[in-house]
Structure 1
C-alpha cells in the first residue's frame, strides 16, 4: 500500500521533473509518517543518543527522528543511484556506491521540532531534503510543514509552495517570488524598525542567551521577533512572512536542506560577512547565514552584524 501511494505521488508530481518529483514524494511520505505517529501518540520515545561533540547540546534521538530518516534512506536505496547522504541522525552514509551513474549528495533534516513533538505541541514540525550534484551545485530541495501539510520546494525553475491533498498528492501551488509576496500584502520592508526577524531561540543556554548577548543591537530595532529557525526559516523569508532570517551557528543540515528555496525565491542570502554560502561534504559543521527579502534591508542587517561583532 505504501509503495502504491508513493508511486501515485510520484505520478502526481511528474510534471515538475523526475528528480523534483522524487524529492517531493519522499517529503510527502515523511509528513505522513509524522502524522501517523502523532495520531497514535507514539514517536516521542528516545531511541538513541548522539555521540561526540556534534550537537552535544541536543543529544536525544526520538523515534520520530529515526522513522522519518529511515524512510528517506529506504527510498534512496531503492533509487539505485550512488548517493552520499548527509543527515542529522546518520551523519555521512554512502548508499548504492557500486551502482552506475553520477553520484549525488543528499542533505536531510529528517524531522525538525523533536522537543515540541515530544511534548505534544503541534507547531514548528518540519521535514526537509535537498539534492546536490557532485560539485555541490543545488539540484532541488523540499521543506515540508508537517502541521499545515504544505511543501515548499525549489529547482532550476524557481521556488514554489504546494498544498498536499489528504493522500499526499499535489493540490494548489503558487510560485514564491517578489510578485507573490506583494500580492499577499508583504512588500519589501527596507527599514529594520518596520521589519520582522527570525532566529532560533527555543533553547536558552545554547541559542537565546548567546544571541541576545552578542547581537542585541541588531535585534532591538526590529518590530517583531520569531524564535524559530532551521530549514523553514528560509521558507518564511521566501514567502515574505518574515523579512529577515538570522541563522546563527545553525547545524549543516538545518541550512543546506532548505537554503535553495530562499535563493530561488529572489531573496538575498549570504553569510554574516556578505559572502555566498557554499555546501560541502562536512555534515558536522555549523554556519552563520542571513537571508533578507531585499538587498536594501540586507545591507543594513550586515552593517549591524559587523557593528555587533566589532564591539
Structure 2
C-alpha cells in the first residue's frame, strides 16, 4: 500500500530532528540572510537539502517551496506542492532553546491537506490531515472554545498591539510569545492558548502546516481580512494570520483597522 502524504511527512520530520540534534548547542555556523531576512545556520541548509531530496524522490510530481532553497516558478504549475520550513524559530535554535520546529505541509490546489510540526528536542509531533483530527504524538487535541475576548491568552509580538492596527483600543489580551509561528499555531491547536496573531505579511512556509493543525483542532484560521488562507501563491506570502475561537475571531477581524 502506498505511503500516505502524512506518513511521508512524519518520517521526514523525524529525520530532520535527527540532523538538528547533531547541531543543536554545538555552535553551528551562522549567516545573516540578505535584506534583513534573519539568520540561517548550517543546520537549516542541511535539513532543507535532505527534505528536498527525500520528499521529491517519493513524490516527483509535486512542487517545492521552502525557506532555504531558491524558489522556482515551476511549482505554480503543480497541483500539489510541499511547503517546508526546515527550522522555524532559527533564533531559538541558535540560542539553545528547544522551541524550534520543523514545519512540513502538502498543499493541493492551494489548500493544505497534510501537515506536521515537529519539535524534536521536546518530542512533540503535531499532525493533521484535511479530513481528520489534529493530533499530538498520535492523540487527538482540541483548541480553545473561549468566547470572551478580554483576558484571552494570545501568542503574538508586541507590534500587533500598536494603536494604528486597531479601530479603537487593542483587545485586552494576555500576551505571550514563542519564536516559531508553526509552534504558536500548534499550541493554539492544543488549547494551551486562545489566540494567535501575526498582523504582517507572512511567509507561507511559516504557517502552512500549523494552520491546518489549528483548523482541524477547531480553531478558526484566516488571514487578517477573514479570508481562508490560500497557499502556493506566486509571492509565497499571506496577508497575516489569525487563529482563534470563532466568536473571538469575528471580533478581532471586525476591530482591525484597514490596511
Compute the TM-score of the two structures, normalised by the length of structure 2: 0.86
Contact kept, 8 Å, 1:141 with 1:258, in 2: the verdict is yes
Give the CA deviation at 1:21.
Answer: 0.7
Would the aligned equivalents of 2:117 and 2:182 in 1 still touch at CA under 8 Å? yes
Residues 3-55 of structure 1 show CA distances to partners (whole Å, capped at 9, x for unaligned) of xxxxxxxxxxx99x62211110001111121112126x143x125x544xxxx
The reply to whether residue 21 of structure 1 matches residue 7 of structure 2 is yes
Aligned match of 2:182:
231
Give the Cα–Cα distance (whole angstroms) in 1 for the partners of residues 89 and 65 of structure 2: 19
Per the alignment, residue 213 of structure 2 pairs with: 261
- Deviation, 1:209, is 4.3
Q: What whole-Å deviation, never above 9, does each CA across 1:256-299 have from its counterpart, x for those lacking one?
A: 2321111211111122222222113335424311010x211112
1:89 maps to which residue? 68
Q: How many residues matched?
A: 254
Deviation at 1:210, TM superposition (A): 6.6
Could you tell me which residue of structure 1 aligns to residue 147 of structure 2? 190
Of the three residues 116, 128, 131, the one matched with 2:92 is 116
RMSD: 2.8
> Matched residues in 2 for 1:42 and 1:300: separation?
45
In 2, are the aligned partners of 1:86 and 1:283 still within 8 Å (CA)?
no
Of the candidates 148, 159, 182, which is equivalent to residue 134 of structure 2?
159
- In the alignment, which residue of structure 2 is the partner of 1:275? 227
CA contact (8 A) 1:251 1:287 kept: no
Of the three residues 63, 66, 70, the one matched with 2:45 is 66
TM-superposed CA distance for 1:78, in Å, is: 2.5
Give the 3 Å change call, closer, same or farther, for CA 72–211 of structure 1 in structure 2.
Answer: farther
The correspondence of residues 1-311 of structure 1 with structure 2, limited to 5 A, is: 18-38=4-24, 41-43=26-28, 45-46=29-30, 50-51=33-34, 56-93=35-72, 104-120=80-96, 122-133=97-108, 135-155=109-129, 156-162=131-137, 173-177=138-142, 188-199=145-156, 201=157, 208-209=158-159, 211-215=161-165, 219=170, 221-249=172-200, 250-292=202-244, 294-306=245-257, 309=258
CA contact under 8 A between 2:12 and 2:54: conserved in structure 1? Answer: yes
Aligned residue for 2:19, secondary structure, equals: helix
Q: Which runs of 5+ in 2 are unaligned?
A: none
Q: What do residues 219-261 of structure 1 show as CA deviations (whole Å, max 9, x unaligned)?
A: 5511343354511221111111110100222222112232111
* Structure 1 residue 218, shift from structure 2 partner: 5.8
- In the alignment, structure 1 segments of 5+ residues that lack a partner are 1-13, 97-101, 163-172, 182-186, 202-207
Normalized against structure 1, the TM-score is what?
0.72
CA shift in 2, pair 1:232/1:119, >3 Å: closer
Counterpart contact for 1:87–1:283, Cα < 8 Å: no
Q: Which secondary structure does the structure 1 equivalent of 2:115 belong to?
A: strand
Q: Distance in 2 between matches of 1:146 and 1:219?
A: 35
Bigger mean CA deviation after superposition, 76-85 or 223-232:
223-232
8 Å contact from structure 1 (residues 192, 223) kept in 2: no
**Larger RCO, structures 1/2 (Cα 8 Å, 6+ apart):** 2
Q: Which has the larger radius of gyration?
A: 1
